[in-house]
Amino acid sequence: MDNRPIGIFDSGVGGLTVTSRVINELPCEKIVYFGDTARVPYGSKSKKTVTKFAMQDVRFLLSKNVKAVVIACNTVSSNSIEDLKKEFDIPIFGVVEPGAKQAANVTKNTNVGVIATAGTIRSGAYERAIKQFNSNISVYSKACPLFVPLAEEGWWNDKITYLTAQKYISGLIDKKIDTIVLGCTHYPLLRKCIEETVGPDVSLVDPAYETAVALKKYLFKNNMLREGQCGGHEFYVSDITETFEKICFEALKQKYDAKLINIEEY
């Protein structure tokens, strides 16, 4: 057994949807969450900048004595996971590989859609990862930059969100996809709208859930599960904003206070 906490970080608050999945799968673990709300979003920034920020994020979590790190950010998972694994001697889990694996398992007609931020799409990480599991799969990708602000605005069921989804996703539907990957941690907040836009014949893959399952298997296999008392989660941000509270409650159905840290010191 290993009673140290699990570290989870994201560019901001989107990673709280991943945290929710991890807590569901591993209810006895303690979580230390960091959201880089001062520098959010990462999705529109370059690989070099994203990797630099991610290094600081992991260093902060290590200062909290975590036993494993979950990159609850598709942009970092896509662009920087190899650099992070080289730099740090700790198990590091990204969301891309588990999501890609599930997409490859689920598709029947080998046409898979991926929706994500510009940075994730530009990296080509989902496409590469899905093709590693099955090279016959055709991957169709689409960056959806408005989905994050729409989710943060709380317009989850608004006509504008449905029209935006239609505009972004119609090209993927034309390609006859039967599976779509929600390649950004905010997108589960728009799940209903995305589900209705793609229709009942397209399966949704949520990499957050797949990552939580992969983490659980790893901790079990390596005898690293926590024993004893549950909970005591800690939340840290680099800037105090209203959005943390709103999304935290939506994702975790519970109010948590976040502590402020200066991430540039790490």
Residues in touch with a copy of itself (CB under 8 A): 37-40, 44-46, 48-49, 118, 145-146, 148-150, 152-153, 158-160, 163-164, 167, 238-243, 264
Closest distance of CB 80 from a copy of itself, Å: 14
Residue 11 vs 211, nearer CB to a copy of itself: 11
Peptide bond before residue 41 is cis, with ω within 30 degrees of 0: yes
Q: How many angstroms separate the CA atoms of 76 and 205, rounded?
A: 19
Q: How many angstroms separate the CA atoms of 93 and 184, rounded?
A: 15
| Active-site position among 73, 144, 193, 248 | 73
CA 194, chain centre distance (Å): 17
Nearest alpha carbon to residue 208 among 10, 7, 20: 20
Residue 28 vs 240, nearer CB to a copy of itself: 240
Residue 16 vs 148, nearer CB to a copy of itself: 148
Q: How many angstroms separate the CA atoms of 58 and 196, rounded?
A: 37
Q: Is 73 a catalytic residue?
A: yes
Closest distance of CB 230 from a copy of itself, Å: 32
Q: What letter would DSSP give residue 109?
A: S
| Active-site position among 28, 144, 184, 230 | 184
Half-sphere exposure of 264 (CA within 13 A, CB side): 3
Closest distance of CB 261 from a copy of itself, Å: 12
CA-to-CA dists, residue 198 to 154, 168, 207, angstroms: 21, 11, 18
Residue 28 vs 163, nearer CB to a copy of itself: 163
Closest distance of CB 45 from a copy of itself, Å: 5
Residue 159 vs 255, nearer CB to a copy of itself: 159
SS3 annotation, 228-254:
CCCCCCEEEECCCCHHHHHHHHHHHCC
Q: Is 184 a catalytic residue?
A: yes
Q: Are 190 and 218 in contact (CB under 8 A)?
A: no
Closest distance of CB 89 from a copy of itself, Å: 26
The catalytic residues are 73, 184
